[in-house]
Amino acid sequence: ISDVIYIYNYWLDLEQDCQTQGDKWRSYAYRKAIAVLKATKLEIKTLEQAKKLRGIGSKIADKVPSHIH
């Protein structure tokens, strides 16, 4: 499984958890980051690469699991 797919699925799980908990703004931020990740043609392997994508803030990028960066 590629890193991008792993990150996508991880953020999707976090987005669904936030939505379940009623945290609409955090859920929105994850949905936005997921859309950016889906649209990128780059292979994201590090935290720094994720942070450089427009639409992925540092708090969201920090959610990239440590074994990816």
pLDDT tens, residue by residue, 14-29: 999 999 999 999 999 9
pTM of the predicted structure, to 2 decimals: 0.78
pLDDT tens, residue by residue, 2-58: 677 788 888 899 999 999 999 999 999 999 999 998 888 887 776 678 788 888 888
Q: Residue 23 is encoded by which pair of tokens?
A: 């945290």
* pLDDT, position 48: 76
- Beta carbons of 8 and 31 less than 8 angstroms apart: no
**What gap in Å lies between CA 61 and CA 69, rounded to an integer?**
10
Angle CA(49)–CA(23)–CA(14) in degrees, nearest 5? 40
Residues 6+ apart with CB under 8 A from 45: 3, 68, 69
